[in-house]
Structures are given as C-alpha cells and as structure tokens.
A and B are shown apart, each in its own frame.
Chain A
Amino acid sequence: MSTTTTITPTPTRRSFDYKTFLANNGALVGLVVLCIALVIATPDFLTGQNLLNIGIQVSTVAVLAFGMTFVIVAGGIDLSVGAVAALSAMASGWFFVSAGLPGWVALLGGLAVGLLAGIVNGAANAYGKLPSFIATLAMLSVARGLTLVISDGRPIKTAAEVSFLGGNLGPVPMPIVVLVVAALVASFILNRTVLGRSMYAVGGNAEAARLSGLPVKRIIVTVFALAGLFAALAGLLLAGRLDSAQPQAAAGYELDAIAAVVIGGASLSGGLGKISGTFIGALVLVVIRNGLNLLNVSSFWQQVVIGLVIALAVGADVLRRKTRNS
C-alpha cells in the first residue's frame, strides 16, 4: 500500500479515457447497446405500448431493488423481499376484505406489515447476531408461509386504493409514477441523509463506523425496515395491477432485486452502490426479458441469458476494483 500515493493516476482531461468510463458505467453502456440491438432486431421494441410495458414491469423489480440497495450498501443481504412483498399485499387484502377496514387503511396496513417484517429482519441481524443471509432466509419462509395461511392459498381482492396503484394517472401508468417517486426518495435517503451516509460507513467498515460514534445497530435495523417498506410497496404495485393479492406473487423476485443491485455496480461486500445504478440494473434485466420475449426466445433460455448477464456484470465489478486498487 505504501506506494499508492504516487501511483494514483491524475485524471486526464486531454483524452477520453474510455476504459475508465466503461468500467464505471458498464451497466449503462450495456443497456444502451442492448436497446440499440433490439431496435434493429425487432420493430416491436420501440413502440409506445412496449415501452410502457417495460416501465410497468421494471417498477416492481426496481422498487424491490431500491430497498435491496440500502441493505447491500450497508453490507447485508435480504432474501425475504419477494415473500415480504407478497405478505404485505395479502395482509392489505385481508385488512380490506376480512377485517373490513377502509381501503386507505388497508393500503397503509400493508406497508406497515412490510416495515414490521423488515424491522424483525434487522433486529435479528443487529441484536440477534444472525447473519443477514440466515435471518432473511428464515423471514422468506415465514412470510411466504403466513401469506398462504392468511389467504388459504387463494387470491384476495384488493381495495380500490391499492388497485389505483396499478391503474393510470392520465396517460401515465401509476406504477411508473410510483417508481419515479420511489427512486427519488431512495436516492435522497442514500445521498442526502445522515442515515444514508451512515449506511455506506457501516457497509464499508462497521467497526470503524461504530468507533466513530455511529449507532451501527440502529442503522442496520432501519436499513432492513426500509427494505421491508419498499418490498411492501412493490407487493402492493403488483397486487394493484391484478386487482388482487396472489399467494405466490413475487416468488423469486429477491434474486432479480439482488441481480439489479449488483449489475448496477454495488459491491456485495458492502459500502458501494447507487440508486441510479440499481435502476439501470433493473432496466437491464427487464429489457433483456422483454427483448427475448419479442424475439420469441423461450423463457428457459431467458434464464440462461440472465445468468450470464449477472456473471458479466460482477466480472466488470471485479475488474473495476482491480483497476482502482493497483
């Protein structure tokens, strides 16, 4: 390490350093290339309807992934977001149909369930000393189980207020509006607030953060609580589109969310990651699926492609670290 002061390259403005640009914006470049290829490959890609479709599809993944970004930046992982999304939507449906609560109370109740699940995750991790992988794996099972218990395996109708989230605001689908608001809020939290800055510190080096007086445990609980809240929002978006909460909704979405965050340039060892990156990561996943659908590629092959994309993105991440540290 002792040589590094002299070897840190000074940023050159003379020539465009495409290597650095590629390493830092790999996901964005990939997305643009992907879109250009799809525009050429199929006339169906660049249509208003298809783009709106992409927007709607990306909303669920991205909102989940925003919450996941907090957790990953803070050095954890949350495997339960898909199940918590389903549980929150189902609870909201139950509040409305079985408990007879007003629609807006059912909506807020659904969000509260997600928040609560997140707090439990965070407390199990921070105070119970369970690794976040294990704590949220347990929550995945519990939340999915509770969803089935509440619903008895059948869909429940959602309140109009929830369905509104799946509808339109003028010409714009509500999920896209929610997506934009969620992105702004998440980005604001991560960049501007004490909490957000603390997440980077905790994920980068929890002990250094603690010795600097940051309340590490409380930060971890808050981070998981936020992930739960964003998961609940994603679950309600999904339910709103179908006018019903489905017991198997969002199954496996946690992996999409993690993939989006990682493609977006976050490090699974914590301390690095951005909301804009995560958003691009989510778009990459959704556009690939959309494009492969338009090109009539079977969903089996789609999984293969998605897997390769994740490997490629993480490979780029490793490369970036290497160029930075040498």
Chain B
Amino acid sequence: MNAHPLITLQNVTKTFGPVTVIQDVTVSVYPGQVQVLLGENGAGKSTLIKMVAGVYQPDGGQILVDGTVTTLPTTKAAEDHGIATIHQELNLVATMSVAENVMLGRMPTKFGMVDRKELRRQARAALALIGLDVDVNLLVGDLGIAKQQLVEIAKALSINARVLILDEPTAALTRHETQALFAVMADLRSRGVGMLFISHHLDEIAEVGDTVTVIRDGHFIAEVPASTPEDELVKLMVGRSIEDQFPRRADETPAVTEVLTVTNLTSAGQFDDISFTVRAGEVLGIAGLVGAGRTELIRAIAGADKYDTGTVTVRGTKLPKGDIKAAIRAGIGHVPEDRKGQGLVLDASVNDNLGYATLASSAKLGLADFTGQRRRAEAVAKTLRIRMHTIDQPIRSLSGGNQQKAVFGRWIIAASTVLLLDEPTRGVDVGAKVEIYELMNSITAAGGAIVMVSSELPEILGMSDRILVMRDGRLAGELSAADATQDTVMTLAARDVAAQR
C-alpha cells in the first residue's frame, strides 16, 4: 500500500472511569482496502469503531483524516468526512418505509414538501447498488432482519462514503446474503472505498479482507495479512490456541430413546407438514435460508406460537398448543433467536435472568425462593464460566457470549432435557462459542436432546449429528453428519429458490 491512509487512529487510548478499554492502538484504513478488526467480545473493537464514527473521543493519541489531525466530535462530523458506519444494532425506524429509511435526514423536497417520487427513485438507486430487490414502499418493520440489515447498508452507502465501517454486518445474514454483501464490498473496494470490517466469522476474513489488525484486552497485538490461517488468527485473538472450533463429541452408541417427536406440524404460511424425531443424546441441526420457516417451527414447538395442525410430543406426552409453561414442564428449553429482544431482561440482574424459568416452580406459597435461587445461579454461573463481577450486576453489562450462556443457564437450572436453540452463537466470539459447543456436548452426554437452528453452515455441519434442511416452510431433506457438506446442504436449501430467480 503506497497510497496514503484515508483515516488513521494513531496510538489512541480510551478510558471509562478507572478502566482503560483501549490502550495505545494504531489502525489505518487505506483506499481500496478492507481492514479487518479482529478480537474477542470485550477486546475493544466497538470502542475503536466508535472513535472513528465520532461517538467517542480518544483520551490519548490522535485521529488523522487524509493525514491531517482531526477531531470527530459528533457522528455528523464523521459523516461529513465521508465516514459511514453500519452498527451492530440496526438504526432503522420500523414504522417508516424502506425509502424513507434509506433517505432519512436527506429527504428530497419540492416546494418544501417531501418529493415522494424522487424519494423512491433515489432509494431504489441505493438499493440497486447492493442488488437488494424489495419494494421501497414496504415498512421496514415488516422486513426480516436480514433484509433490514441490507437496507441499513444501502443507507450507509448512499451517503457516498469514502470510509465504510461494518460492525458485524454478516451476523444476521445467510451465506447467500453474505455473498451478495461481499460482492458489494468488492465493488466498493475497486472504487477506492476503504473499509473497516468486523466479523466473528473467521472464514470471511480471508474471503473479503486485506489486512487484519488483532486486538486483545484493548491492546494492539498484531497486524497480519488476511490470508493468515484461521488457527493462527484464533491464537492471536484469544492468546492461546483453540484446538477445535467445533468440538462435537457424538455418542458412540446410536441413541434409541425418542425424546422429541414432531408429527405433521403445520402453520399456515409459515411451515407445512413437518415431521421429525430427536433421540436422547442427539443434536439435530436445522439448516435453511432465512425465511424458510425454521424460527417459526422452533417457536411453535416451544409453545411460543400456536400452530394449525399436527402434534408435538415429548417423551410420550403430547404438548398443548401455544402453552409455554406446559412445554417447559415437559422439559423443553428455548434459546430464542434474538437474545436481547426475547432472551433477556437486560436491566435485571444475572441472578434474576438465570431464575425466570424456575421462579414459580421453586417458590413456596407464592414466595420467591431467594436463597435457593442464588445458590443455583451461583453454581450454574460457575459451571458455565459466565464472566461477571457479581451475580447482581445487570445482565446488560455482560458481553454477548456471557449473556448467551446465561440464557442457557436458565434452562440448565430448570433441568430442561430438550433444548431448542435458535442461532445459539449469533454475535458470540470464538472463545465463548466453543464454550457453548462444549455445553451442548455435556447436555447430550447427560441424555439431553438438542434441536439447533443455525444460519452458520460450519456450525450446523460441525455440531449436528443429523441435519434437516428446510425450504419454503417444508422439509427439503435430511442428511446424516457424514453425508452433509456445505454443497449438499445449500443445494437442498436453495434449489427451488434458485430456480425461481
């Protein structure tokens, strides 16, 4: 790279109260280059990004834009320098249309009124840039999370960004959608846009990145080329080597006891005639594209939503429709897709969050069992190695991986034996991921059964004993762990969809 960097964070330091989050880190983004920022949750990636985006000011060091020392006191100032950010959390107004969201703050006007026609035209142009085909008049809230993400990206791109910051843009995307995004990124790169990219998917780094800056505990560790082997990257990131990213230990003896049986389950418009069984000690993976009906199916089994016909049976007991409590009593534990929106009460303590599923069942005469709950929570937090200061701190203040472990912990306290996992490692760093996989192993080793929906194919392939593939609400096929490859799974998941396009 002989060009000058578009932006450089030079020896920056950031402290919050007594805690130093970033210490003396230097990162540069060059034109036409994808700079990957790699580190575990809590390493300080988001803080770095927020300094580039004008959200935080560095306490030490300086920011150079085009070689000139610059302060970015606000996000507006950053945008004025051509720095656009796609945050981990979507910044969209669910009740406004796609077009309005894309053009928010820059709506074209005519005689002082919004020029609807021009608005739609510009929004369509922005969407076309990333090949997203949605009706710009739809409300953003009616789109799936993947499409919302793409709208957000279209919005950021439409400001003519020179520097694009992408904070885990692929976390909620399927392989297919990720590929589309990468194509857009490649196009931007050829046009000289510099990008700062964060992802927990190591395989994406070599695919899309140029150089990788590794940070750990707020310190700069190394800058390496993106072609560095994954093992090496993991080692740099966590400071030790992780032997196996997917440590699935299946039982040697094939299990016979059927724990969960789903028969002809149908919910109009969501999934159709789904039948399968899960045996004790087994991990059943459910693969498919976003929108194939996987989440809806899981929710119906968990009692979170009603379904039209069919039955769900756990160990011979038929579960009533839409009855979460009955499902829990039968041993079902549901780890929902959206940890913050559906899994946790963020302002409540770790202790409280661990105890919600057992709040009523452990109570005596309507009185909450405080001492017992604390004892159980302490024990499970220790087993799961939930990293926290105290069990009474709000769960909001834990990292994503530790939050997710707490959702698991809730069901471990409830002694659930059938776990329904929906994207169990979304937004979770490599170290915590492996811990979650180990946890799945110990659950199945103890005779539990797991159904796992995941959009991460390596995870599905690495952790499942059997794989069901869903397509358009139907079962497209079943694969054994031995037969499954990315290709066989994707062929089943996307065949018709591809044919339709």
Contact = CB atoms under 8 A, between A and B. Distances in A.
B239 interface: no
B356 A212 contact: yes
A208 B343 contact: yes
A213 interface: yes
B88 interface: yes
B389 interface: yes
B217 interface: yes
B389 A10 contact: yes
B217 A6 contact: yes
Nearest to B356: A212
B136 to A, nearest CB: 29
B191 interface: no
Interface string A222-263: 000000000000000000000000000000000000000000
B42 interface: yes
Nearest to A204: B345
B363 A8 contact: no
B363 A2 contact: no
A204 B348 contact: yes
Contact of A1 (B324, B342, B343, B400): B400
Contacts of A214: 356, 359-360
Contacts of A40: none
Interface residues of A, number: 38
A201 B356 contact: yes
A6 B394 contact: no
A12 interface: yes
Given A194-B368, A208-B342, A210-B324, A1 B46 contact: yes
Contacts of B207: none
Interface in B34-48: 41-47
Contact of B347 (A5, A207, A210, A272): A272
A2 B42 contact: yes
A277 to B, nearest CB: 15
A197 B399 CA distance: 24
Contact of B397 (A4, A194, A205): A4
A3 interface: yes
B44 A8 contact: no
A11 B18 CA distance: 10
Contact of B345 (A4, A9, A213, A271): A271
A1 B429 CA distance: 13
Interface in B336-378: 336, 341-348, 352, 356-357, 359-360, 363, 366-368, 370
B300 to A, nearest CB: 13
Interface in A175-202: 192-198, 200-201
Nearest to A212: B356
B318 interface: no
Contacts of A207: 341-342
B325 A213 contact: yes
A114 B486 CA distance: 63
B19 A211 contact: no
B324 A198 contact: no
A5 B397 contact: yes
Contact of B218 (A6, A195, A213): A6
B343 A5 contact: no
B57 to A, nearest CB: 13
A210 B44 CA distance: 34
Given A7-B16, A211-B343, A193 B218 contact: no
Contact of B44 (A6, A11, A267, A326): A6
B245 interface: no
B302 interface: yes
A288 interface: no
Given A197-B368, A200-B345, A213-B325, A326 B304 contact: no
A215 interface: yes
Q: Which of B47, B89, B217 counts the most chain A CB atoms within 10 A?
A: B47
A12 B399 contact: no
A4 B43 CA distance: 9
A6 B21 contact: yes
Contacts of A194: 359-360, 363, 366-368
B404 interface: no
B42 A12 contact: no
Nearest to B402: A5
B398 A5 contact: yes
Contacts of A325: 396
A142 interface: no
Nearest to A205: B345
Contacts of A7: 16-17, 19, 21
B19 A195 contact: no
Nearest to B42: A5
Contacts of A212: 324, 356-357, 359, 410
Contact of B324 (A5, A8, A9, A213): A213
A3 B402 contact: no
A197 B344 CA distance: 14
A192 B359 CA distance: 11
A267 B370 CA distance: 24
Contact of A2 (B45, B344, B347): B45
A209 interface: yes
Contact of A4 (B328, B342, B399, B429): B399
A5 B387 contact: yes
A211 B342 CA distance: 7
B334 interface: yes
B310 to A, nearest CB: 21
B393 interface: yes
Contacts of B347: 204, 267, 271-272
Contacts of B19: 6-9
A211 B402 contact: no
B399 A1 contact: yes
B426 to A, nearest CB: 13
Contact of A3 (B21, B325, B344, B367): B21
Interface in A117-171: none
Contacts of B217: 6
Given A6-B217, A8-B389, A208-B344, A195 B47 contact: no
Nearest to B345: A204
A316 to B, nearest CB: 17
Nearest to B332: A213
Nearest to B334: A211
30 contacts: A1-B89, A1-B400, A2-B41, A2-B42, A4-B398, A5-B41, A5-B42, A5-B388, A5-B398, A5-B399, A6-B21, A6-B42, A6-B217, A6-B218, A7-B17, A7-B21, A10-B389, A193-B366, A195-B366, A197-B352, A200-B348, A201-B359, A208-B343, A210-B324, A211-B336, A211-B342, A212-B356, A212-B357, A213-B324, A213-B357
Interface of B: 16-19, 21, 41-47, 88-89, 217-218, 302, 304, 324-325, 327-328, 334, 336, 341-348, 352, 356-357, 359-360, 363, 366-368, 370, 387-389, 393-394, 396-400, 402, 410, 429
Those 10 A-B pairs whose CB atoms lie nearest each other, nearest first? A204-B345, A212-B356, A5-B42, A7-B16, A213-B328, A2-B41, A205-B345, A5-B399, A194-B363, A271-B347
